[in-house]
Structure 1
Amino acid sequence: MTVTLESMRADVAAIIHENPEDIGFEDNLMDLGLDSMRLMNLILAWQEAGVDLDFGEFAEEFTLAGWWRAIEAKRATK
């Protein structure tokens, strides 16, 4: 499985019981109900799919757009 911005949005939506299209890329995901335990579960799944970020990097910004920028930046340095 390759992690994409859309797949991340779908994963977040599933874990907080929302429709993916209802989650904006700049929405604060904590405000939508994502807590640290659920985030850890998502991070573990994404790490298994090849995302090389840890909890601290995801916790810096709680938006999909912020997470995607971090992933792209990390990929660019490889």
Structure 2
Amino acid sequence: MTDFTIEMLRREIARMIHVDPSEIGDSDNLMDLGLDSMRAMALVLSWEQQGLKLDFSELARDVTLGAWWAVVARQQNMERT
């Protein structure tokens, strides 16, 4: 499994919505920045192919990079134990 970092998430989200990663703050609403549900699902599927199992509905509750990172970090910790 790939070890994900918040910066990796930031870069992949930025690529998906065609902005520079520096334009995505931890508390910015990703939908307001142009991430729609289809692109979000594509990201989740890509991350799943890299070994990270996420519940899309959990990510949909709070669509900020910081919230997504919290979910990813928690999941990575669970998978390591």
Q: TM-score, length-normalised on structure 1?
A: 0.89
- 2:16 is matched with 15
Q: Can you give the 5+ residue segments of structure 2 that lack an aligned partner in the other structure?
A: none
Q: Can you give the 5+ residue segments of structure 1 that lack an aligned partner in the other structure?
A: none
1:65 maps to 2:66: yes
Q: Which of 12-21 and 49-58 deviates more?
A: 49-58
Tell me the SS of whatever aligns to 1:33.
coil
- 1:53 is matched with 54
- 1:32 is matched with 33
1:9 and 1:35 map into 2 onto residues whose CA distance is: 15
The superposition leaves residues 7-60 of structure 1 with CA deviations (integer Å, 9 ceiling, x where unpaired) of 110011011110001110110000001000000100001111122212111111
Query: In structure 1, what residue type is equivalent to 2:77?
Result: A
2:77 and 2:12 map into 1 onto residues whose CA distance is: 24
Runs of 4+, deviation exceeding 6 Å: none
Question: Across the two proteins, how many residue pairs are aligned to each other?
Answer: 78
Q: Percent identity?
A: 45
The superposition leaves residues 49-77 of structure 1 with CA deviations (integer Å, 9 ceiling, x where unpaired) of 12221211111110111011112222333
